[in-house]
Structure 1
Amino acid sequence: MSARNDHPAVWSRLDVVEGLGLGTLIAETDGFRLEATEVVVDRGTRYSCRFTVWADLAWVTRGARVEILSPNGVRTLELASKGAHWTRDGKPAPDLDGCVDVDVASTPLTNTLPIRRLGLSPGESREIPVAWIDIPDLSVHRMTQRYTRHQSSEGRGRYVYGDPDHGSFELTVDRHGLIVDYEGFAARVS
């Protein structure tokens, strides 16, 4: 896998009436940056989500900024990690201490972080603690997620992702570790 996606990926959401996301992975001298935006319309809810996630050269999350625009106005969340300790909007967040990834719930882009960082071989799996950001309400809680890598198929990496709140889903990824298909949630348009 290379360290950069030169063209932003576009995903169509499968779990809402209308949803479209655009995201990219940018290599920087001291790590990686994920940039994305998403617009969702679903049964009385409509919002846009714009976020940036920073990771070091080992793909460990160092911070995230998420902004929501909805009928309730604009709201922002900032998370930062120093070592194993986290802050939420500048205040200590000990409930997140030890998390190594951030998962922004509205997008498949943040699944790239553990896929790249773990470097699993086919048949391997690993459980990891993540700071899971619910969208659009911006609540954050600690969640244990499991990634299992399967044999590649048709030139795509294959994984099963699972967590205790949502169940298990098959993921396929491109050579950059970006999601192509996320079962029941999102499918790559381009």
Structure 2
Amino acid sequence: MSSLTKHPAAWTRTDVPEGLGLGALIPEPGGFRLEGGETVVEGEERFFTRFTVRTDLAWTTREVRVEVVSGKGPASLVLTARDGHWTDTAGRPVPELVGCLDADVAATPLTNTLPIRRLGLRPGEYRDIAVAWIDIPSLRVRRVRQRYTRHPPEDGLEHYTYRDPHHGEYHLSVDGDGVVVDYERFARRLRPEE
């Protein structure tokens, strides 16, 4: 993980005309921190988002902070999770998220690292999970059922299929840290020379 700490991963979005993201996976005492941001331009819509996700040592999400700047102005969201129970920015319970152990910030491939690391699947295994899915730029939060299936490694990368009922199925390749290299029809990691 030290390579990502020193050199954050950068992605170009392939699902919009212009989009660029940057993210880092940072070990902390008692867990991990994902730091990232995305800038997207699609037609008249333009937005920038910055997020922080904190986990425990088992990769279970403990806190999510998301900020968005768009044509509607700035907005922010804070979600906190303890033992599968979530609270919002104002400290109110969010009952529809009970049991969710992962957060998925929709604008970035970085948060796919959370279930990939937490589940520890072997090739051929799959797992259905419920996640706290955060739409960007609206910051609407909903519970989404997702399936992760691990495939045999190929070309020095790990391979997964991600599926959910709202967005369909995507193939992901990830590095040894579980960070996305290629996310079919969504994002592609930029190499240092690009």
Task: Report if TM-score (shorter chain) is over 0.5.
Answer: yes
SS of the aligned residue for 1:91 comes to: coil
In structure 2, what is the Cα distance between the partners aligned to 1:148 and 1:52? 26
In structure 1, what is the Cα distance between the partners aligned to 2:170 and 2:35? 24
In structure 1, what is the Cα distance between the partners aligned to 2:16 and 2:119? 30
- Label 1:4 to 1:30 Cα distance change in 2 as closer, same or farther (>3 A): farther
In structure 2, what is the Cα distance between the partners aligned to 1:33 and 1:63? 10
What TM-score, normalized by structure 2, do the two folds share?
Answer: 0.95
User: How far did 1:137 drift?
Assistant: 0.3
Q: Which amino acid aligns with 2:155?
A: E
Please give the per-residue CA displacement for 1:99-152, whole angstroms capped at 9, x wherever unaligned: 000000000000000000101000000001100000000000000100000000
User: How far did 1:4 drift?
Assistant: 6.8
Which consecutive aligned stretches of 4+ in structure 1 deviate over 2 angstroms post-superposition? Answer: 2-6
RMSD, matched Cα: 1.0
Please give the per-residue CA displacement for 1:6-59, whole angstroms capped at 9, x wherever unaligned: 320000000111000000000001100000011000011000000000000000
Q: Which amino acid aligns with 1:130?
A: V
In structure 1, what is the Cα distance between the partners aligned to 2:119 and 2:132? 16
What TM-score, normalized by structure 1, do the two folds share?
Answer: 0.97
Q: Does residue 46 in structure 1 map to residue 46 in structure 2? A: yes
1:1-190 equivalences under 5 Å are: 2=1, 5-6=4-5, 7-89=7-89, 90-190=91-191
Q: Is contact 1:157-1:173 (8 Å) kept?
A: yes
- Label 1:3 to 1:145 Cα distance change in 2 as closer, same or farther (>3 A): farther
Unaligned ranges ≥5, structure 2? none
In structure 2, what is the Cα distance between the partners aligned to 1:82 and 1:118? 18
Q: Which amino acid aligns with 2:150?
A: R
Q: Which amino acid aligns with 1:43?
A: G
User: How far did 1:154 drift?
Assistant: 0.4
Q: Is contact 1:3-1:176 (8 Å) kept?
A: no
Q: Which amino acid aligns with 1:180?
A: V
Q: Which amino acid aligns with 1:24?
A: A
Unaligned ranges ≥5, structure 1? none
In structure 1, what is the Cα distance between the partners aligned to 2:113 and 2:82? 21
- Label 1:13 to 1:77 Cα distance change in 2 as closer, same or farther (>3 A): same
User: How far did 1:5 drift?
Assistant: 2.5
User: How far did 1:3 drift?
Assistant: 7.6
Task: Tell me the percent identity.
Answer: 57
